[in-house]
Amino acid sequence: MHRQALKQAKSATKAQRASPKTQRKNKQSLTAKKRRFSTTPPPSSGVKSFGVIGAGQMGTGIAIVAANVSKLPVTLVDVNQSSLDNAEKFLANLMSKDVTKGKITREAADEALSRISYSTDMGAFNKTQFIVEAATEDLALKQKIFTSLDQIAPEGAILGTNTSSISITKIAAATSRPQDVIGMHFMNPVPVMKLVEIIPGLRTSIPTLTTTLALSAEMGKTTTQSRDFPGFIANRVLMPYINEAVFVLQEGIATAQDIDTTMKLGTNVPMGPLTLADFIGLDTCLSIMKVLHAGSGGDSEYRPSPLLQQYVDAGYLGKKTGRGFYDYAPKM
């Protein structure tokens, strides 16, 4: 007993004598092992410029929230000029509607729109502090974009991705600065939905996380945090629900209308799963289910419905194409 007590005393003395540098290393190692999932955001993110890649529905929504709510200068980049033109027209109409409804003054709306610049060149991000990618849900495409951003964005810039299911760690691996890469999953439509899922990758730094949380608050959003696993929180729960509804339709158990009505009135949700799928985009739903299926090692629980695949193959992608599980074509 005496020898054991003496040994413990020596160990304690050695720990006390450890150099400050060694103590810092030990503390950093402990922090890495016990990565926090919530931090208190600083009073200000410190972000002075904002960029978005992808002028689709999500990217356009993110851009106007940053410009209108956070009052940030925004650069919206897309390789397709017609997409940028459409985004500019859409935002002008959106802000005009808000003026008509009394949600914003004409002067404030014009100021918000003036904060957004448009470009087909990613080189426009060479001085941008915070960039969010909102391209198609495809890993290879996102990795290509992040490799380019790595060469263009200034040192210390945060590179966010709006992916709804793809591994942040895999996307970050395409750069030489994975500590600056983070998931920032906005909900659709961005100006309306209050939530942003924040997903740190395996090598995302604490400063990147805290800045992202602070910026999200400045954009008027509530945040939740998820570990970097397929589907994160929202789509890990939502997509299998939608996929199962498609299986019910596929097997002839009920019509689309009866499936949606049952879930709306039976569970008090604002819209049924098939209507929601049409709004999200059936191609997006299919892509996420494939990520979940692959990420689970092929678990049959996440097998995409063959009918969902068939609709996507037919070009029935939902409301954006005028046809999904429902027909949205204008009535003659």
Structure tokens at 188: 């659709």
At residue 33, does pLDDT exceed 50? no
Global pTM value: 0.83
Q: Which of 68, 137, 162, 197 is catalytic?
A: 197
Give the percent of the chain with pLDDT over 90.
85
Q: Which of 45, 70, 164, 167 is catalytic?
A: 164
Report the distance separating Cα 170 and Cα 156, nearest Å.
20
Helix (H, G, I), strand (E, B) or coil at 55: coil
Q: Is the peptide bond before 20 cis (omega within 30 degrees of 0)?
A: no
Q: Is 235 a catalytic residue?
A: yes
Q: Which of 235, 243, 287, 305 is catalytic?
A: 235
The beta strand positions in the chain, using DSSP E, are 50-53, 74-77, 116-119, 130-133, 158-161, 181-186, 195-200, 222-225
At residue 14, does pLDDT exceed 90? no
Higher pLDDT, 324 or 7: 324
Instruction: Specify the pLDDT at position 32.
Output: 43
Mean pLDDT confidence for 262-269: 98
Q: Is 164 a catalytic residue?
A: yes
CB distance 153 to 125 below 8 Å:
yes
Q: Which tens digit of pLDDT belongs to each residue from 230-260?
A: 999 999 999 999 999 999 999 999 999 999 9
Q: Is 26 a catalytic residue?
A: no
